[in-house]
């Protein structure tokens, strides 16, 4: 008999975190781990300590969406939980997620409350981005000139601390999806190498009539950014390239061009502000160089509309 819950974990060079994540899972579940060509012994460690886990070893990094699709195609559960390798699962959380899904058949996707390692709240659900949101979330302003859109971002959703809340999308660090929803909308779009794949999935699910819910009584600890921190410039490029793909697919060419233009403005604005701070002695030489490098990556991504080719081999090869 197929299990109720399958847990899908994609790993890239987070051996100790992955093992800690697997040790934290106490709920009965089928677990599928896809290792994206790690060079830190992750796959061998899983095979040794967790022989009951289905392990897929890729000979190259195929990306987050494609690897999750591999895991999904290998699993049998009624519900599939996308779970980051840098998470920890408190007892009872997975049972609450699956029980909620079982009791609400029109809910296609549900996400838990995400917390940092110190127990503080981590953003767990948001509204979909529009071009101006992308600009305000990246652009820097002097404190006195900081716009209201940054002080109270429009994409934040008021969430109950105790009651389920309908949302536009939940974070892919821990996302539970119903098999019937996948049957209706298809797998993740593997053209998203990294970032926005769960946003796209939730958008398609909502368009097909499924509800997306946030469940605060289920908690997952998400340490955050452990794989992506290994290649920060490339991850920044993927963040915005994926956003541009989402805009192009769901809002059309005008919104895409608008987003690219606003990102270009933000990158130039950030660079000029950092230069002004540097000249005024409020920015260190190291900080100025880092800011100039980051904004160069974003500017090239905005102008090209995709990840600059020179950055890609550091992750995909």
Q: Average pLDDT for residues 119-148, to the nearest whole number?
A: 92
Whether residue 78 is found in the same domain as residue 222: yes
Whether residue 198 is found in the same domain as residue 247: no
Q: What confidence tens digit (pLDDT) does each residue in 271-280 have?
A: 999 999 999 9
Place of tokens 């821990």: 174
Of 228, 258, 279, the last residue of a domain is 228
Give bridge partners of residue 112 from the DSSP assignment: 215
pLDDT of residue 228: 56
Whether residue 171 is found in the same domain as residue 250: no
The pair of structure tokens assigned to 8 is 């899908």
Residue 64 CA to residue 12 CA, distance in Å, equals 9
Q: Does a structural domain hold residue 138?
A: no
Domain count, the chain: 2
Whether residue 220 is found in the same domain as residue 235: no
Q: Does a structural domain hold residue 147?
A: no
Whether residue 235 is found in the same domain as residue 252: yes
Whether residue 298 is found in the same domain as residue 164: no
When mean pLDDT is compared across 79-93, 129-143, 207-221, 303-317, the lowest value belongs to 303-317
Whether pLDDT at 316 is above 60: no
Question: Structure pTM?
Answer: 0.93
Whether residue 238 is found in the same domain as residue 201: no
When mean pLDDT is compared across 33-47, 108-122, 199-213, 295-309, the lowest value belongs to 295-309
Q: Does a structural domain hold residue 312?
A: yes
Whether residue 202 is found in the same domain as residue 287: no
Residue 233 CA to residue 180 CA, distance in Å, equals 37
Higher pLDDT, 3 or 261: 261
Q: Does a structural domain hold residue 213?
A: yes
Q: Does a structural domain hold residue 280?
A: yes
Q: What is the residue range of 208's domain?
A: 5-124+159-228
Whether residue 83 is found in the same domain as residue 222: yes
Q: Does a structural domain hold residue 145?
A: no
Beta-carbon contacts of residue 92 (< 8 Å; ≥ 6 apart): 218
Of 190, 210, 228, the last residue of a domain is 228
pLDDT of residue 210: 98
Q: Average pLDDT for residues 181-201, to the nearest whole number?
A: 97
Whether residue 235 is found in the same domain as residue 96: no
Q: Does a structural domain hold residue 135?
A: no
Q: Average pLDDT for residues 210-225, to the nearest whole number?
A: 94
The pair of structure tokens assigned to 174 is 């821990």
Whether residue 116 is found in the same domain as residue 13: yes
Whether residue 301 is found in the same domain as residue 165: no
Q: Does a structural domain hold residue 60?
A: yes
CATH number, position 219: 3.90.550.10
Q: What confidence tens digit (pLDDT) does each residue in 8-62 have?
A: 999 999 999 999 999 999 999 999 999 999 999 999 999 999 999 999 999 999 9
Band (pLDDT 50/70/90 cuts) for residue 150 is confident
Band (pLDDT 50/70/90 cuts) for residue 227 is low
Give bridge partners of residue 244 from the DSSP assignment: none
Of 213, 228, 243, the last residue of a domain is 228
Band (pLDDT 50/70/90 cuts) for residue 317 is very low
């Amino acid at each position: 008999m197929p299990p109720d819950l399958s847990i899908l974990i994609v790993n890239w060079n987070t051996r100790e975190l992955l093992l800690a994540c697997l040790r934290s899972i106490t709920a009965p579940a089928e677990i599928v781990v896809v290792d994206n060509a790690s060079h830190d012994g992750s796959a061998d460690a899983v095979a040794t300590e967790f022989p009951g886990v289905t392990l897929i070893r890729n000979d190259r990094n195929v990306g987050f969406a494609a690897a999750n699709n591999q895991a999904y195609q290998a699993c049998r559960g009624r519900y599939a939980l996308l779970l980051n390798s840098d998470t920890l699962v408190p007892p009872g959380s997975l049972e609450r997620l699956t029980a909620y899904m079982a009791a609400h058949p029109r809910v296609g996707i549900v996400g838990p409350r995400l917390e940092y390692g110190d127990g503080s709240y981590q953003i767990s659900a948001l509204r979909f981005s529009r071009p101006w949101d992308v600009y305000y979330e990246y652009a820097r302003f002097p404190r006195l000139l900081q716009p209201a859109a940054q002080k109270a971002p429009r994409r934040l959703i008021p969430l109950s601390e105790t009651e389920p809340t309908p949302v536009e999308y939940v974070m892919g660090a821990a996302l539970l999806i119903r098999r019937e929803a996948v049957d209706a909308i298809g797998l993740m779009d593997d053209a998203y190498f990294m970032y926005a794949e769960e946003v796209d999935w939730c958008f398609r699910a909502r368009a097909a009539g499924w509800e997306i819910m946030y469940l605060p009584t289920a908690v997952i600890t998400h340490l955050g950014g452990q794989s992506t921190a290994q290649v920060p410039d490339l991850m920044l490029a993927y963040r915005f390239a994926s956003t541009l793909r989402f805009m192009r697919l769901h809002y059309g060419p005008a919104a895409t061009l608008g987003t690219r233009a606003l990102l270009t403005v933000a990158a130039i604005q950030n660079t000029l502000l950092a230069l002004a701070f540097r000249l005024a002695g409020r920015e260190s030489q190291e900080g100025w160089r880092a800011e100039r490098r980051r904004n160069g990556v974003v500017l090239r991504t905005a102008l090209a509309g995709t990840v600059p080719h020179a950055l890609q081999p550091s992750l995909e090869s």
